[in-house]
């Protein structure tokens, strides 16, 4: 699941990475990792993944075992974390100067912290667009991890956010699939009357609300304005589209989710399960979740439909953009096994393994060109990636495109907006203050 999502650790994490930047400067700086050297197939290679839990954990476990069979002198040590736990784990490993040889990363500010802190190896010579390995990836996924013309990340899979809906629930309720935001709101009473929770939503971790908000911001605020507001030095947050989007989100929460259960107290995994069990008619989910929600439960693949979150009529932003971003891995800049790490990741992203990653039960659409096809992937995953590839632009996760202090303000503001503790105007005020303090 999304990755790409911060918690209240965001500000602390950002600070911990930047505070350690000094460890990589001056005479004591460690030699740059020789990523292009011939690997020595011996010793232990450590890998921090975001693949803990079913159905994902076997993917890296199987790859590690296969790599060890191919190179008997190598032991692959996996540290498998969940979408939520990896944030705290990475923060701890960074602060204790114990990053593994290979570790998971989101793009955006999260990745930039590691690059600026000297903790991500420069992989340009092995994965740049003109290299044999680099040519196997889509250019946009490679560029997501570029910094000042250099390439640092290994993009593993693409991702995008869509409103998943249960076709059977809509048919039972006699409701058409909404094509506008107003139609979405209007569909909720009929779905509720038919016995379904209209939209399953759990915001205990805070970041699910930010997914809604960022897509609505993209619809209501021009891209050039949003881009300027992502940077504290140029941010003003005075475009009226922000308030419009916040009000739309509040309307959606009140009209379409189970507010009786206290949305801020519900895990996003509980919302996912409600949709998979056929209890909810819709669930705003990432492509990475499509196969999980249809893996053996009441919701069958044939009944899963997907659409982008419907855009409001007359929106001042771009109604065709989709929220999403690739996710990938860094090699530790000081790893003595950097060349071996590169070789292992070449193995992970080989065409056969990329196709497996893109197939059920994993459903993680590989960034390797040609890996996602109607034969390798489920219908929903293939459709989702097609929509991502056809979108005029992708808008990155709200908590990954701005300063940690601002991301934390959005997180708190989203929770308060849901509970009624803050008005849209107060949320914007708090975000503006956080941005000013981050300059």
Q: What is the pLDDT of residue 114?
A: 96
Cis peptide before 91 (omega within 30 of 0): no
Alpha-carbon distance 421 to 262, whole Å? 13
52 part of a folded domain: yes
Count of domains in the chain? Answer: 2
Q: Are residues 80 and 215 in the same domain?
A: no
Predicted confidence band of residue 31 (pLDDT cuts 50, 70, 90): low
Q: What is the pLDDT of residue 259?
A: 67
Contact 397, 4 (CB under 8 A): yes
β-pairing verdict for 197-200 and 280-286: parallel
Q: Are residues 114 and 259 in the same domain?
A: no
Average pLDDT for 151-175: 98
**Domain around 406:** 161-323+398-438
Q: Are residues 258 and 330 in the same domain?
A: no
Q: Are residues 146 and 115 in the same domain?
A: yes
| Of 222, 231, 292, 214, nearest in space to 435 by CA | 231
Contact 316, 222 (CB under 8 A): yes
304 part of a folded domain: yes
Q: What is the pLDDT of residue 15?
A: 40
Q: Are residues 65 and 141 in the same domain?
A: yes
Q: Are residues 251 and 310 in the same domain?
A: yes
Q: Are residues 122 and 135 in the same domain?
A: yes
Angle at 319 between CA 412 and CA 250, to 5 degrees: 30
Phi, psi of 57 (to 5 degrees): -55, -35
Q: Does the pLDDT at position 325 exceed 90?
A: yes
What does the mean pLDDT of the chain come to? 91
Predicted confidence band of residue 83 (pLDDT cuts 50, 70, 90): confident
Q: Are residues 56 and 152 in the same domain?
A: yes
Q: Does the pLDDT at position 24 exceed 60?
A: no
60 part of a folded domain: yes
Q: What is the pLDDT of residue 87?
A: 87
Q: Between residues 87 and 22, which one has the greater pLDDT?
A: 87
Q: Are residues 120 and 109 in the same domain?
A: yes
Cβ atoms < 10 Å from Cβ of 38: 9
Alpha-carbon distance 268 to 210, whole Å? 13
Q: Is the dihedral of CA 41, 44, 46, 52 positive or negative?
A: positive
388 part of a folded domain: no
392 part of a folded domain: no
380 vs 82, 160, 206, 302, CA distance in Å? 23, 12, 26, 9
261 part of a folded domain: yes
Q: What is the pLDDT of residue 84?
A: 80
Q: Does the pLDDT at position 23 exceed 50?
A: no
Q: Are residues 153 and 166 in the same domain?
A: no
Q: Are residues 330 and 318 in the same domain?
A: no
188 part of a folded domain: yes
Which tokens is 296 given? 């053996």
Q: Does the pLDDT at position 213 exceed 80?
A: yes
Q: What is the pLDDT of residue 69?
A: 98
Alpha-carbon distance 83 to 3, whole Å? 6
Alpha-carbon distance 134 to 64, whole Å? 22
Place of tokens 């990938």: 328
Q: Does the pLDDT at position 81 exceed 50?
A: yes
Q: Does the pLDDT at position 377 exceed 70?
A: yes
Predicted confidence band of residue 260 (pLDDT cuts 50, 70, 90): low
**Can you give the CATH number for the domain in which 272 is found?**
3.40.190.10
Q: What is the pLDDT of residue 14?
A: 44
Read off the pLDDT of residues 221-257 as tens digits, 9 standing for 90 and up. 999 999 999 999 999 999 999 999 999 999 999 999 9
| Of 199, 210, 373, nearest in space to 279 by CA | 199
Q: Does the pLDDT at position 62 exceed 80?
A: yes
CA atoms within 13 A on the CB side of 10: 26
Q: What is the pLDDT of residue 147?
A: 95
Q: What is the pLDDT of residue 297?
A: 87
């Amino acid at each position: 699941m999304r990755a790409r999502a911060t918690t209240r650790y965001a500000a602390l994490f950002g600070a911990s990475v930047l505070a350690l930047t000094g460890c990589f400067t001056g005479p004591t700086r460690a030699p740059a990792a020789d990523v292009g050297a011939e690997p020595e197939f011996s010793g232990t290679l450590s890998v921090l993944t975001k693949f803990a839990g079913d159905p994902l954990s076997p993917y890296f476990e199987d790859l590690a075992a296969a790599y060890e069979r191919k190179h008997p002198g190598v032991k692959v040590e996996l540290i498998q974390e969940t979408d939520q736990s990896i944030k705290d784990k990475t923060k701890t490993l960074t602060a204790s100067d114990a990053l593994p040889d290979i570790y998971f990363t989101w793009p955006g500010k999260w990745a930039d912290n590691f690059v600026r802190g000297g903790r991500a190896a420069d992989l340009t010579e092995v994965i740049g667009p003109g290299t044999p390995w680099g040519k196997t990836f889509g250019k946009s996924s490679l560029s997501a991890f570029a910094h000042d013309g250099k390439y640092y990340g290994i993009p593993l899979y693409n991702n995008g956010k869509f409103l998943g809906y249960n076709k059977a629930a809509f048919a039972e309720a006699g409701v058409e699939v909404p094509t506008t935001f107003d139609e979405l709101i209007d569909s909720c009473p009929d779905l509720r009357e038919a016995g379904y929770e209209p939209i399953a939503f759990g915001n205990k971790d805070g970041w699910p609300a930010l997914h809604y908000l960022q897509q609505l911001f993209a619809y209501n605020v021009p891209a050039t304005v949003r881009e300027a507001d992502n940077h504290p030095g140029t941010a003003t947050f005075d475009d009226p589209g922000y308030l419009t989007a916040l009000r739309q989100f509040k309307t959606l929460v009140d009209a379409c989710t189970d507010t009786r259960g206290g949305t801020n107290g519900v895990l996003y995994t509980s919302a996912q399960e409600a949709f998979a069990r056929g209890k909810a008619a819709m669930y705003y989910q990432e492509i990475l979740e499509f196969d999980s929600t249809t893996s053996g439960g009441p919701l069958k693949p044939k009944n899963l439909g997907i659409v982008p979150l419907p855009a409001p009529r007359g929106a001042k932003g771009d109604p065709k953009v989709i929220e999403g971003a690739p996710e990938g891995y860094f090699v530790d800049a000081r790893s003595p096994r950097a060349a071996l790490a590169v070789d292992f990741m070449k193995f992970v992203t080989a065409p056969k393994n990329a196709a497996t990653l893109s197939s059920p039960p994993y459903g993680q659409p590989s960034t390797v060109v040609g890996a996602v096809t109607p034969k390798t992937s489920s219908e929903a995953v293939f459709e989702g990636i097609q929509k991502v590839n056809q979108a005029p632009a992708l808008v990155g996760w709200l908590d990954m495109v701005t300063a940690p202090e601002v991301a934390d303000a959005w997180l708190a503001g989203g929770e308060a907006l849901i509970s009624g503790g803050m008005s849209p105007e107060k949320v914007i005020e708090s975000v503006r203050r956080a941005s000013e303090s981050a300059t």
